[in-house]
Amino acid sequence: MAATPESHSNPHFGATLARHGIRALIRKSPATIQVNVGKLCNQACHHCHVDAGPRRTERMTRATAERVIDLLAASGGVETLDVTGGAPELNENFAMIVKRARALGRKVIVRCNLTVTLEPGMEWLIDFYRRAGVELVCSLPCYTAENTDRQRGTGVFDKSIAALKNLNAAGFGRGELRLDLVYNPIGASLPPPQVELEAQYRDELARNFGIVFDRLLTITNMPIARFANQLNGTGSHSAYMSLLVNHFNPATVDALMCRDLVSVGWDGRLYDCDFNQMLEIPLGAGAATIWDIEDVGAIAGTRIATGSHCFGCTAGAGSSCGGAIA
C-alpha cells in the first residue's frame, strides 16, 4: 500500500516546520525533471533507497520514455533531465532518452554506479557519455576498498577505480566533461562536512590511483527501503530518526531539491521527489501521471507532499541530489 503524506511514521515534519515559523513547502517552477527508468541494477547496495538489484523487473517502456521526452520538450522552463535508476544504462531506452534530451538543448545528468560500464555488452557506454556530453554523478561511498565493498559488495571498489580511470581517460573530470562523485555514510550517521571530505577524496584518489574529479556530493542515507530494513534489523531505526530530527536545520529548507524538481517513476507516475517516489507518496499537486499534464510548469505554486523521511534532507548541512545544501 502506498504511504500517505505524514502518515507513514513519526515524528511529524510539517509540525517541525511550523515550530520554526516555516510554512508548508511550495513548489517553484520546475527546472529539473528527474526520471527513474527502472529498478534493474547490476548491484544491490545496502543503503539503496530504490531497493534496486539484478532481479528487479520494473522498467520504463518505450511509450513512457517517449512521453517523458514530449513533456520535456513542452516544458520550456525545464533546464535539466536527471536520469537515474537502478542502473539507468540497463534500460533499453536509455540512449534514446539521452540523445533526444540533448537534441532539445537540455543538460542531461546521468547517475551512474560506475561498475555498469564494465558489464559485458556495455563497452559502448563511456564513449556514448562523451559524445552525448552528459554530466556524470557517480557513486563512490569511500576512497578505501574496505568501506566501499562493505556497502556495495565484494570487489566493487576495484571495479569502480577501473571505471574512474577509464572516465578520466575519456576526458571526464579533467575540465572537459563533468564528473562528480557521491559519498554516502557507511552506517547510521550524518555525512561529514562536504568541503573537508572532498579535499580528502581528492588527495587519496590522486595519490593512490591518479584519479581526478570535479566535485564530491555528500548525501545522507534515507530511512526508507533497504536502509530502513537495515536499521530495523539492528534495532537502530528510532535512534537514527532521533539523530535526523535533533539535527534539523531550518537553513536547508529554502534550497530543498523538491522545490524545483519533479520526479517521474518508471511507470510514468509523478512525485515531488525521488524519495517520495519510493514511498509511493503521490505528487502534492494532484496530477497523477505524465499523461495528465502538458507542461510541468503548471504545477508551480502547489504544495509539496512531505513525511518524516524529509528530516533526512534537512539534517545538519542538508542533503539533496546535488549534495549538501547549507
Beta bridge partners of 104: none
Backbone angles phi and psi of 317, in degrees to 5: -80, 0
- Strands laid side by side in the 261-264 sheet: 215-218, 179-183, 135-139, 107-112, 80-84, 32-36, 261-264, 270-271
Q: Tell me the three state secondary structure of residue 78.
A: coil
**Cell numbers given for 15:** 509540525
The predicted pLDDT at position 286 comes to 83
* Number of residues in the chain: 326
Structural domain 26-220+254-308, CATH architecture: Alpha-Beta Barrel (3.20)
Q: Where are the domains of the chain?
A: 26-220+254-308
Task: Quick: pLDDT tens for 216-272.
Answer: 999 999 999 888 888 999 999 999 999 999 999 999 999 999 999 999 999 999 999
Q: What angle do CA 256, 259, 262 make, to 5 degrees?
A: 115
Task: Quick: pLDDT tens for 177-190.
Answer: 999 999 999 889 99
Q: Report the distance separating Cα 317 and Cα 220, nearest Å.
A: 10
158 in Cβ contact with 125 (< 8 Å): no
277 in Cβ contact with 263 (< 8 Å): yes
What is the average pLDDT score of the chain?
93
**Cell numbers given for 94:** 536509455
> Up-side HSE of residue 147: CA atoms within 13 Å toward CB?
11
- 141-149, Cβ contacts within 8 angstroms, sequence gap of 24 or more: 141/47, 141/182, 141/183, 141/184, 141/185, 141/186, 142/183, 142/186, 143/200, 143/201, 143/204, 143/205, 143/208, 144/204, 147/186
Task: Quick: pLDDT tens for 87-116.
Answer: 999 999 999 999 999 999 999 999 999 999
Residue carrying C-alpha cell 520554526: 20
Q: Tell me the three state secondary structure of residue 272.
A: coil
Q: Tell me the three state secondary structure of residue 263.
A: strand
The predicted pLDDT at position 37 comes to 98
pTM (whole model) above 0.75? yes
The predicted pLDDT at position 264 comes to 98
